[in-house]
Amino acid sequence: MRIILLGPPGAGKGTQCKRLVEKYGAVHLSSGDILRAERAIGTELGKKAQNYMDSGGLVPDDLIVAMMVGAMKKAGKGGFILDGFPRTVVQAEELDRALDKAGEKIDALLNLQIDDAVVASRMTGRRSCPKCGAVYHIENLKPRVNNVCDRDGMELMQRKDDQPEVVANRLKTYHEQTEQVIGYYENKKPVISIDAGMEIDDVTKAIFAELGKLKTK
Ligand code: AP5
Ligand code: MG
């Protein structure tokens, strides 16, 4: 299965992707997670991406496309869930070109919809595992032990770009540049809109139900 998962910051892309990969066995490819890993080990790409990420803007298309096409090649034949990529129409066009070349295709785009007003509290309460990327929330999705990852016992961290002023900019960037990507796919692929304002488990159920219909078509 090859899926694109889009939605504003805090829509729950990372949270839902973890569940999708468990069910479908595809590889989770989050452009944001890959960039954070590059930064953590201090690569050239990580250094170039730093200022864009910290201000809530987008990293230049050429860097992102090269990074994601490389990651897709490594994913193998089991498929992938693209989380937060493509985020511009140029990235979408480049993705199409790369998939054509590889003889692969996207099955559907999942569009997680949520009001900007709901995003703020999700962002301030988010905590993530620096090792495995598991995502928690101090109220909505607590780890078993306070501030410790259930999977590997690492201390959880707060993302730098979750400060309110950066979140506001990320939302602005989303509306100005990424929403157009939904329009780009509308006549090309099934575009499935999901109400991401529901409880986490209900969002998962809605996604599985929609993907189930798709597979039986
Ligand atoms: P990225 O890491 O992709 O950030 P984002 O898109 O802003 O999305 P988030 O990861 O913040 O939110 P999410 O939707 O994954 O929500 P989550 O599941 O964590 O990108 C970071 C930066 O990298 C970008 O700003 C940009 O600079 C750069 N970048 C990345 N991709 C790029 C690209 N393609 N092109 C150019 N630049 C790129 O959930 C959030 C919180 O809410 C969690 O605490 C969770 O527990 C909680 N939660 C989730 N669902 C629910 C629910 N239903 N109810 C209640 N709480 C919930
Ligand atoms: Mg995420």
Give the model confidence (pLDDT) of 70-89 as tens digits.
Answer: 999 998 888 999 999 999 99
> In the predicted model, is pLDDT for residue 216 greater than 60?
no
Reply yes or no on whether the pLDDT at 124 is more than 90. Answer: no
Q: Percent of the chain scored above 70 by pLDDT?
A: 99
Residues 6+ apart with CB under 8 A from 212: none
Distance CA 30, CA 81 (A): 8
Residue 160 — pLDDT band, cuts 50, 70, 90? confident
Query: Does 39 have pLDDT greater than 60?
Result: yes
Give pTM, 2 decimals. 0.94
Q: Are 141 and 135 within 8 A, CB to CB?
A: yes
pLDDT grade for 121, boundaries at 50, 70 and 90: confident
Which residues are known to be catalytic? 13, 87, 126, 159, 170
The pLDDT confidence band at residue 120, using thresholds 50, 70 and 90, is confident
Instruction: Tell me which H or E stretch contains 154.
Output: none
- Which whole-number Å values give the CA distances from 162 to 100, 126, 129, 131, in the listed order? 36, 8, 15, 19
Q: Is residue 159 helix, strand or coil?
A: coil
How many Cβ atoms from other residues are within 10 Å of residue 26's Cβ? 20
Mutate to test the pocket of ligand 1, among 6, 15, 20 (most ligand atoms within 8 A of CB): 15
Give the pLDDT band (50/70/90) at residue 131.
confident
Residue 215 has pLDDT above 80, yes or no: no
Name the helix (H) or strand (E) containing 4: strand 2-6
- The radius of gyration of the chain from alpha carbons, rounded to an integer in Å, stands at 16
* Beta bridge pairs of residue 3: 81, 108
Q: Which residues pair with 30 in a beta bridge?
A: 83
Q: What pLDDT does 214 receive?
A: 84
List, for residues 165-204, the tens digit of each pLDDT value.
Answer: 999 999 999 999 999 999 999 999 999 999 999 999 999 9
Residue type, position 13, single letter: K
Atom of ligand 1 minimally distant from the CA of 84: 3
Beta pairing class for 2-6 and 80-83 = parallel
CA–centroid distance, residue 154 to ligand 1 (Å): 20
Contacts of 192 (CB under 8 A, 6+ apart): 108, 109, 110, 111, 210, 211, 214
Q: How far apart are CA 39 and CA 194, in angstroms?
A: 32
